[in-house]
Amino acid sequence: MNARTAGPVLVVGTGLLGASVGLGLRYEGVDVLLADASPAALDLAVDYGAGRRPRHGDDPALVVVAVPPDQIADTVAKALAHHPRALVTDVGSVKQRPLEGLRALGADLSRYLGSHPLAGRERGGPISARADLFFGRPWVITPHELTTPDQIRVLEDLILDLEGTPVRLTPEEHDESVAVISHVPQLVASLMAARLADAPAAAVGIAGQGVRDLTRIASSSPELWVQILGANAGAVVPVLDALAADLDGLRDALREQDRPGARRTVAEVLAAGNTGVARLPGKHGQDWRFASLIVLIDDRPGQLAALLTEIGEIGINLEDLRLEHSPRAPIGIVEVVVVPEVRDRLERELTERGWRIAG
State mean pLDDT over 298-326. Answer: 84
Distance CA 335, CA 38 (A): 43
Beta strands in the chain (DSSP E): 9-12, 32-35, 62-65, 87-90, 114-117, 138-142, 165-168, 291-298, 320-324, 331-338, 356-357
Residue 158 has pLDDT above 80, yes or no: yes
Distance CA 36, CA 13 (A): 5
State mean pLDDT over 202-221. Answer: 90
- Per-residue pLDDT tens for 105-153? 999 999 999 999 999 876 778 888 899 899 888 999 999 999 999 999 9
- Per-residue pLDDT tens for 244-269? 999 999 999 999 999 999 999 999 99
- Per-residue pLDDT tens for 292-306? 888 988 877 888 889
Residue 285 has pLDDT above 50, yes or no: no
Between 207 and 117, the higher pLDDT residue? 117
State the pLDDT at residue 43. 94
Between 3 and 188, the higher pLDDT residue? 188
pLDDT confidence tier of residue 65, bands split at 50, 70 and 90: very high
State mean pLDDT over 220-232. Answer: 93
Distance CA 14, CA 22 (A): 8
Distances (CA, A) of 61 to 13, 18, 113, 264: 17, 17, 14, 59
